[in-house]
Amino acid sequence: MKKSIFSLLSLLSLCSPSYAQSDDLAAAAQNPLASMISLPFQNNTTFGNRGGDVSNSLNIQPVLPFTLSEDWNLITRTILPVVSAPDPVGSGNINGLGDTSFTGWFSPQEPVNYITWGVGPTLYMPTATNNLGLDQWGGGISAVGVYIKDKWVAGGLASNTWGFDDTDQLNSFYSQIFVNYNMDNGWYLVSAPIITANWNADSSDRWVVPIGGGIGKIMRWGKQPVNLNAQIYYNIEKPEDYGDYTFRLQLQFMFPKS
């Protein structure tokens, strides 16, 4: 089993471009359009939900880049959530999988004036168990822009997804603004709040808007480069039953070409 895992990691590292300098590796880890295979595990724990319950979502987010031509890349990201959410009709939590989302960004290979961008489709797939999703297919469009210069990596992404069914259950907005300041020895400061809106909800329960940030470090576990960070956010706008604080812990395995 161990040999199989190490063989897979070696294969992934051969499929990604080389990042010789640690600064380049940090920028690639923080850039959603980087042409590098990575496997982030992002865990979000929210405190103070209805009745004081705690909710948790572990998002498994493999990123796979494809070279389409000398000028264009396709960067794909899949998000599969493993969820523990408060029971809406009882006490305790319900555990299971959430619905899966897929995004593909078509992006130019070379930045212009330190800026690169991407645009492409999103796909919403009903993979949830235990009624933790919407049980319908959906799709939409997503765009992302990134600025990288010196010690700074900053940008934002946004998408909107609509349901394919006529149930009006799915009409959601997702965005993330990110600012990273890279320091010595692989350390960096980060703020990357995830802002969402459910357009079908009442105006008072529509938005989740957090503020906050944290600290991270690029390091190596043996020969394996990893990106580890911890962040905390206060939700200044949220639905009535949603929690006040979210703690995020992310571990990202990176596979640059040797």
How many CB atoms within 10 Å of residue 183?
A: 12
pLDDT digits (tens, 9 = 90+) for 204-242: 999 999 999 999 999 999 999 999 999 999 999 999 889
Give the whole-number percent of the chain exceeding pLDDT 70. 90
Domain tally, the chain: 1
- Span 82-95, average pLDDT: 86
State the Cα–Cα distance between residues 189 and 101, nearest whole angstrom.
Answer: 28
CA distance 103 to 63: 10
Distances (CA, A) of 200 to 81, 98, 138: 22, 19, 15
What are the beta bridge partners of residue 246? 46, 233
State the Cα–Cα distance between residues 40 and 232, nearest whole angstrom: 18
Q: What is the CATH number of the domain that holds 97?
A: 2.40.160.40
Say which residue, 20 or 174, is predicted with more confidence.
Answer: 174
Give ∠ CA 233-190-74 in degrees, rounded to 5. 110
**pLDDT tens, 24-41?**
899 999 999 999 999 999
For residue 12, pLDDT beyond 70: no
Listed in sequence order, the residues at least 6 apart from 196 whose beta carbon sits closer than 8 Å to its beta carbon are: 172, 173, 174, 175, 207, 208
Domain extent for 182: 2-255
Residue listed under structure tokens 């959603």: 32
Instruction: List, for residues 65-80, the tens digit of each pLDDT value.
Output: 999 999 999 999 999 9
